[in-house]
Amino acid sequence: MNYLFIIFIVIVIIVWLCDRKKESEKEKSTSRLPNLQSSNDYKSTNERELLRRAELNDVEAQKHLISCYWYGHDEEISIDKATALYWKKRIINNARHGNEMARGLIGGSARVYDRPEGPPADYPFLFDEDLARNYHKQILEGANAGEASAMLPAYEYLITNKKEGFKYLLRSAELGYADSYYFLMVAYNITAYNKKLNSALCPPDEYGVEDNDVDFLFAEMFKWALKGANSNSLYADKCQYHLAQHYYAEKRDRENYLKYLKMSVNNGNLEAKDRLEWYKKHSELF
């Protein structure tokens, strides 16, 4: 009788293990990117780079992919709403695992619930209202408490008054939060070029930078780009690529151009890789 009981228990355990294996395989298959089966040969460098960064949990890249796959905002990236929803789920998962940028992006959707007309019906960045409001509160509380990691998403996603939000971004970088270096570099760079060219493409308060001295703006851009390029930030390769372009276009400095371009390539940046291959074929044009 004891033997029969033991055999029964063994059979139950085997069945349970088989069921767990099937569930695990199912979870893995459903967590895969829907269009990974399509060859990367048919994707543009921009799309492949965004996908590469998105897999590294770069929330900005994930956000951009959702926008492109849902609305077709990039003519080189085909609309694919199933893939857009996949990246939306990844952002939610990132937030659950403590990613402050993901929490900030989700929190940013809280304000659409306050619109008189209500939230838009077909909007890929509409997250659960309670989740959005909780993260909105959490990020702002963290930013106001001086948490550098919360200041960046507060600036990027939550604070609509960019001049006020820029103070958070600058303070986050000054506190040594390396991911902020890239965003600060971008803010100074675009503001400087818009003021230099007197461009109407970007509203004056788009990035919240109030300084009007173009030389100062470029100097600040360069300072934060260097800090970002030499950091362990998720955006280090983007800072390196930006510096390479700066040395190419503004300084005509071949040595530093190649130095930072190769650094970016070594960190996996596909746009920098394409650029380096172009340079090897057209170095006489430098």
Residue 201 pLDDT > 50, yes or no? yes
Q: 126 and 74 in contact (C-beta within 8 Å)?
A: no
Residue 59 in any domain: the answer is yes
Looking at the whole model, is its pTM more than 0.75? Answer: yes
Higher pLDDT, 223 or 17: 223
Residue 29 pLDDT > 60, yes or no? no
Distance (Å, rounded) from C-alpha 138 to C-alpha 273?
39
- 115-152 pLDDT tens trace: 999 888 889 999 999 999 999 999 999 999 999 999 99
Residue 106 in any domain: the answer is yes
Residue 237 in any domain: the answer is no
Number of domains in the chain: 1
Average pLDDT over residues 258-277: 97
Residue 151 in any domain: the answer is yes
Of 28-32, 54-58, 258-262, 267-271, minimum mean pLDDT range: 28-32
- 209-265 pLDDT tens trace: 999 899 999 999 999 999 999 999 999 999 999 999 999 988 889 999 999 999 999
Residue 88 in any domain: the answer is yes
Residue 54 in any domain: the answer is yes
Residue 283 in any domain: the answer is no
Residue 276 in any domain: the answer is no
pLDDT of residue 212: 86
pLDDT of residue 25: 46
- What CA–CA distances, in Å, run from 13 to 2, 3, 17, 21, 22? 17, 15, 6, 12, 14
Average pLDDT over residues 89-114: 97
pLDDT of residue 56: 97
Distance (Å, rounded) from C-alpha 268 to C-alpha 206?
30
Instruction: Give me the chain's average pLDDT, please.
Output: 88
List the domain range (segments joined by +) for residue 72. 45-160
- Positive or negative, the Cα torsion across 13, 15, 21, 26? negative
Question: 224 — phi, psi (to 5°)?
Answer: -75, -30
